[in-house]
Amino acid sequence: MPALVLVGAQWGDEGKGKATDLLGGSVDYVVRYQGGNNAGHTVVIGDQKYALHLLPSGILSPNVTPVIGNGVVIDPGVLLSELNGLNERGIDTSKLLISGNAHLITPYHRTLDKVTERFLGKRRIGTTGRGIGPTYADKINRVGIRVQDLFDESILRQKIEAALHDKNQLLVKLYNRRAIPADLVLEEYLGYADKIKPFLADTTLVLDEALKAGKVVLLEGGQGTLLDVDHGTYPFVTSSNPTSGGACTGSGIGPTKIDRVIGILKAYTTRVGSGPFPTELLDEDGEALRRIGGERGVTTGRDRRCGWFDAVIARYATRVNGLTDFFLTKLDVLTGWEQIPVCVAYEIDGRRVEELPYNQSDFHHAKPVYETLPGWSEDISGAKTFAELPKNAQAYVKALEEMSGAPISAIGVGPGRDETIQINSFL
Ligand code: GDP
Ligand code: IMO
Ligand code: MG
């Protein structure tokens, strides 16, 4: 059996955690392939709610082996506290595997993330402040620290000292902060080595052997398509590749092994942080979506910006990820609107544009062209089949499917595991 990828189709927070957890019953491995603890994935199982940041959402399924791939950036303090939190709630985390090639977030990455944002002022990205960007920058600049470095004190010392030689100059002379002593960082990070060692694995080899043995591997992305550093709304993006291509580089699984790419798509749109957002609503409809949808960040507690569904974005996600199908989430949140506008194209400087413009100024100017669909007022949270949905809800789903360029194979009608309608055998 092959591998499948699960990606966010918009700006993150589409409900990837819930989708991964649902698929957890039918897969053997769940691999995070990029990002770090900038992610916030909420999973609701019965009356229990879990907020995961760094760990793959599959960690909650007893039969799944969770894997943190080479493409992830790991804050070891966060990793250990997340594991402890789950252990205290009776979740067995002993099967976790961590790639020795994954890069480590250190205190100087977190500090740099925060000071650079502060200095950007109005031009700030609105990052999560977790050190994600500076850690990936060091990786690409070939001065990063990897998980495997924790197990060689002399290499770790050399690397931390070399990194801080530069970074302390920046912190002190440019940003007016205190220098970070290399010895303190070294001592803290050496302290993580024994705790992380039991999880260390050659994850690309493990996954290859698993695939050869007929196991199913789910590659779980953090963030979303429009936060991708290559394909997103640069520079208002994260510093990795959440799109499906990133699943290969971030896990070491080749593209020929992947036969399904599921896009997680919210029935409306949200975004956290700065950057363009054509369908953003700054009125009471936006406020209502935020309230009814509980649109508050799991990681930073910031209110999410809310707007109507944008089919141009969904089509783009289908294109750049090669999506095979969608999981449409949070349809229940739209219950109660008499009319629901859906963005079908943009108007840019008087022209109608059907595809996401690659030019950033065009995207900043894009005005949504709306088509209005009739709403429904019946409570749909108990619906188990497509046929049980009100006719207008069915028509809304069908219209989105047609505009988005890939079939919708499941619909979320509530946060719980069982509040899901399966169509086209999602599981
Ligand atoms: P992720 O980052 O993509 O995993 O998504 P988040 O967990 O940040 O945000 C999605 C939120 O919506 C979470 O609070 C989920 O529990 C919730 N959720 C997921 N699917 C549904 C759904 O179909 N209906 C409703 N009402 N909530 C959902
Ligand atoms: P999940 O996995 C929504 C956003 C931040 C900021 C930008 C860059 O829960 O969908 P970073 O700290 O990554 O350098 O911030 O990306 N961002 C997210 N927005 N959901 C996320 O993750 C996000 N992770 C990062 O708000 O705009
Ligand atoms: Mg989230």
Question: What are the structural domain ranges in the chain?
Answer: 3-90+203-422, 103-197
Cβ contact 45:72 at 8 Å = no
Residue 13 is a catalytic residue:
yes
Identify whether the C-beta of residue 137 lies closer than 8 Å to the C-beta of residue 40: no
Q: Which residues, judged by CB distance below 6 Å to any ligand atom, belong to the binding site of ligand 2?
A: 8, 11-13, 38-41, 125-128, 130, 132-133, 222-224, 227, 238-239, 272-273
* 225 in a labelled binding site: no
Per-residue pLDDT of the chain (427 residues; tens, 9 = 90+): 599 999 999 999 999 999 999 998 899 999 999 999 999 999 999 999 999 999 999 999 999 999 999 999 999 999 999 999 999 999 999 999 999 999 999 999 999 999 999 999 999 999 999 999 999 999 999 999 999 999 999 999 999 999 999 999 999 999 999 999 999 999 999 999 999 999 999 999 999 999 999 999 999 999 999 999 999 999 999 999 999 999 999 999 999 999 999 999 999 999 999 999 999 999 999 999 999 999 998 888 899 999 999 999 999 999 999 999 999 999 999 999 999 999 999 999 999 999 999 999 999 999 999 999 999 999 999 999 999 999 999 999 999 999 999 999 999 999 998 999 999 777 7
CA–CA dist 390, 148 (Å, integer): 54
Closest CA to 134 of 249, 38, 61: 38
What are the φ and ψ backbone dihedral angles of 31, each rounded to 5 degrees?
Answer: -115, 125
Q: Could you tell me if 385 and 424 are in contact, meaning their C-beta atoms sit under 8 angstroms apart? A: no
62 within ligand 1 shell (Cβ under 6 A): no
* Angstrom distance (rounded) from CA 67 to CA 29: 7
| The CATH number fitting domain 3-90+203-422, selected from 3.10.20.30, 3.90.170.10, 3.40.1010.10, 3.40.710.10 | 3.90.170.10
* Residue 332 known to bind ligand: yes
Name residue 99's beta-bridge partners. Answer: 201
Residue 326 half-sphere exposure, CB side, CA atoms within 13 Å?
29
Residue 409 parent element (H or E)? strand 408-412
Q: Is 46 annotated as a binding residue?
A: no
Q: Which ligand is nearest to the CA of 300?
A: 2
Same fold, 3-90+203-422 and 103-197: no
Question: How far, in Å, CA of 121 to CA of 375, rounded?
Answer: 41
Q: Judging by DSSP bridges, how do beta strands 408-412 and 29-32 pair with one another?
A: unpaired
Active site residue 259: no
CATH for 103-197, among 1.10.300.10, 3.40.50.2000, 1.10.3720.10, 1.10.579.10? 1.10.300.10
What atom in ligand 2 is closest to the CA of residue 35? 13
